[in-house]
């Protein structure tokens, strides 16, 4: 995961029309910027164009403000919206978790070694169990208990942490509570959830034990943006792992945990590297 530390990122989208790639590449050439990576996609069903470009300024004195002003004039002709991300930017995030620590541990490790370009500002939980883990990493830990009666007050506390930390992304690392419609709306497009995706699907308690009884041959995980439909938000990425008759329920659980960790970390990396475009109820993802 990760990208070259000298590279800037420009992402843009607009209605489909002739010259959409050229307006980006020509402007970069005119401003002495060398393209190191580029992906584009034209959705013929919706008539929408998406492009992501990494580039390295070749001339000294590159100024983001003047670059954005200049490109905005060119982009206006195409109805193009765009965003410029500087090198080495670490996105501020808040992680939400309950009792299971596997996804949190994995994210903290990747954060500690610099594999994920994020700045973890706080960890929020409805249980006190993982406070020591947060303390060891020097990250503020907020324990906000929740009951059906206190849900509005608890979510108000969560939202206060998000606002006060300036978090641009909220990661639900096995946070075992359903968010309200109001909080889902506030976090739209900037909250990622992870859940198992067993085939066939098993819901409710002890899903891996249900899967064992049915003799499943694949376990997996899905990382997606949250919305008001439980576990049905726009999908960012998915992971799978083959299993067999020799795998017992505890083996399925262990393999499921591993897939969840990898899939969530991958989704976070894709998001913070500006590789994901929300497109109606779907996503356009420019993977590496």
pLDDT score, position 88: 87
Q: Is the pLDDT of residue 60 over 80?
A: yes
In this predicted structure, which of 124-133, 205-214, 245-254, 261-270 has the lowest mean pLDDT? 205-214
Confidence of residue 115 (pLDDT cuts 50, 70, 90): very high
Confidence of residue 199 (pLDDT cuts 50, 70, 90): low
The interaxial angle of helices 249-272 and 207-214, nearest 10 deg, is: 120
Concerning whether 231 is annotated as a catalytic residue, the answer is: yes
Query: Which top CATH class is 91-285?
Result: alpha beta
pTM more than 0.85 = yes
pLDDT score, position 104: 98
Confidence of residue 255 (pLDDT cuts 50, 70, 90): very high
pLDDT score, position 1: 44
pLDDT score, position 3: 52
In this predicted structure, which of 7-16, 175-184, 199-208, 267-276 has the lowest mean pLDDT? 199-208
Torsions phi, psi of 253, nearest 5? -60, -45
Among residues 101, 228, 231, 258, the one annotated as catalytic is 231
**pLDDT tens string 267-278:** 999 999 999 999
Query: Which top CATH class is 8-85?
Result: alpha beta
pLDDT score, position 232: 79
Q: What is the DSSP letter of 226?
A: -
Q: Where are the alpha helices (DSSP H) in the chain?
A: 20-30, 64-76, 102-112, 131-136, 151-165, 181-186, 207-214, 249-272
Domain residue spans in the chain? 8-85, 91-285
Token pair in block for residue 226: 């949250």
Neighbours of 174 (CB within 10 A): 20
Cβ contact 68:84 at 8 Å: yes
């Amino acid at each position: 995961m990760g990208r070259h530390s000298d590279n800037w990122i420009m992402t843009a989208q607009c209605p489909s029309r002739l010259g959409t790639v050229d307006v980006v590449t020509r402007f970069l050439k005119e401003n002495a910027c060398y393209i190191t990576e580029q992906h584009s996609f034209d959705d013929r069903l919706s008539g929408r164009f998406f492009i992501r470009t990494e580039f390295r300024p070749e001339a000294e004195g590159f100024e983001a403000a003047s670059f954005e002003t200049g490109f905005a004039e060119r982009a206006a002709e195409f109805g193009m919206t765009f965003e410029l991300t500087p090198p080495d930017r670490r996105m501020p995030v808040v992680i939400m978790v309950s009792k299971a620590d596997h996804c949190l541990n994995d994210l903290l490790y990747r954060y500690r070694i610099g594999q994920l370009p994020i700045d973890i500002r706080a960890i929020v939980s409805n249980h006190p169990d993982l406070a020591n883990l947060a303390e060891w990493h020097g990250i503020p830990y907020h324990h906000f208990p929740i009951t059906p009666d206190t849900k509005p007050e608890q979510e108000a506390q969560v939202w206060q942490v998000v606002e006060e930390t300036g978090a641009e992304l909220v990661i639900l690392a096995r946070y075992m509570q359903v968010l309200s419609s109001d909080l889902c709306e506030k976090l739209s497009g900037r909250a990622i959830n992870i859940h198992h995706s067993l085939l066939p699907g098993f819901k409710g308690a002890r899903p891996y034990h249900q899967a064992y009884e049915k003799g499943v041959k694949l376990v997996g995980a899905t990382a997606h943006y949250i919305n008001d439909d439980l576990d049905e938000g726009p999908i960012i990425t998915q992971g799978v792992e083959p299993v067999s008759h020799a795998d017992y329920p505890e083996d399925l659980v262990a393999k499921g945990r591993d897939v969840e960790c990898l899939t969530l970390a991958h989704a976070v990396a894709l998001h913070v590297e500006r590789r994901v475009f929300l497109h109606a109820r779907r996503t356009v993802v420019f993977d590496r």
